[in-house]
């Protein structure tokens, strides 16, 4: 039985999501901070295959299935046990990334990608999702400035792809309005962090 609280964070590349989540985890203390794709050994291995810049031949359905496989393993090995212990779990990306990136931006269909993910997650949807919204152009500028950040196969996609990702997220938001809350991530980090904390305190305390 799950009695913890499952919070996921979403957004186009360069929204500053990972920085904010680290700040949130520091502030909230007793939480499990993890990420997708990855978070445990098998899923980190799958992440390498998906994001390898050499793997340009990867088919969109293969990509969707690999993300779902990494998600499944991460969920059963790490997320579900923590939720069963009553923990608050903060996860950097989850199923909505697949809906926006593979479902919409790659053109596989949001409902089709949701259905393969339902097989992988068996109804373990997040209790709350925070979506950091940013203009892809600004997001990509931030990535280019942040030299320490890994540049992966998806970062190398054209601006048009990243615009579709953002459009995909807007559709996902409309599909799950009761679960997903949008925050403007184009502001200064401190400002975005403060807004995120207000929201989290409202929902989990």
Instruction: Evaluate whether 189 touches 13 at the Cβ level (below 8 Å).
Output: no
Q: CB of 11: closest distance to ligand TMP in angstroms? A: 8
> Measured from the CB atom, is 144 or 202 closer to ligand TMP?
144
What DSSP element (H or E) covers 129?
strand 128-133
How many CB atoms within 10 Å of residue 39?
A: 24
User: Shortest distance, CB of residue 141 to ligand TMP, whole angstroms?
Assistant: 16
Ramachandran assignment for 54, one of left (phi > 0), alpha (psi -120 to 50 degrees), beta (any other)? alpha
Write phi, then psi, for 134 (nearest 5 degrees): -150, 145
| CB of 87 vs ligand TMP, minimal distance in Å | 21
Query: Which residues of this protein are in contact with ligand TMP, per CB under 6 A?
Result: 13, 36-37, 67, 93, 97-98, 101-102, 152, 154
Minimum distance of ligand TMP from residue 168's CB (angstroms): 10
Angle value at C-alpha 86, between 178 and 16, nearest 5 degrees: 55
Which of residues 34 and 102 has its CB atom nearest to ligand TMP in the complex? Answer: 102
175 vs 1: CA distance, rounded Å: 27
Q: Which is nearer to ligand TMP, 159 or 198 (CB)?
A: 159
Judged by beta carbon, residue 4 or residue 10, the one nearer ligand TMP is 10
Identity of the residue, 5 or 104, whose beta carbon is nearer to ligand TMP in the bound complex: 104
Cβ 84 to ligand TMP shortest distance, Å: 22
CA-closest candidate to residue 13, choices 173, 158, 134, 182: 134
Measured in whole angstroms, how far is the alpha carbon of residue 32 from the centre of its chain? 15
Task: Find the residue with minimal CB distance to ligand TMP.
Answer: 101
């Amino acid at each position: 039985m799950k009695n913890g609280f499952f919070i996921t964070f979403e957004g186009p590349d360069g929204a500053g999501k990972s920085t904010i989540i680290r700040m949130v985890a520091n502030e909230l203390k007793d939480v499990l901070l993890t990420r997708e794709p990855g978070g445990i050994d098998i899923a980190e291995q799958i992440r390498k295959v998906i994001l390898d810049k050499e793997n340009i031949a990867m088919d969109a359905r293969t990509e969707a299935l690999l993300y779902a496989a990494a998600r499944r393993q991460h969920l059963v090995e790490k997320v579900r046990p923590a939720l069963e212990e009553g923990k608050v779990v903060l996860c950097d990306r989850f199923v909505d990334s697949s809906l926006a990136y593979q479902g919409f931006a790659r053109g596989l269909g949001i409902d089709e990608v949701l259905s393969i993910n339902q097989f992988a997650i068996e109804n373990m949807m997040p209790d709350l999702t925070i979506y950091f919204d940013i203009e892809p152009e600004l997001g990509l500028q931030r990535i280019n400035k942040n030299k320490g950040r890994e540049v992966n196969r998806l970062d190398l996609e054209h601006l048009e792809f990243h615009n579709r990702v953002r459009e995909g997220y807007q559709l996902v938001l409309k599909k799950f309005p009761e679960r997903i809350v949008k925050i403007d991530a184009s502001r200064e980090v401190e400002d975005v962090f403060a807004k995120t904390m207000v929201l989290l305190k409202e929902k989990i305390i």
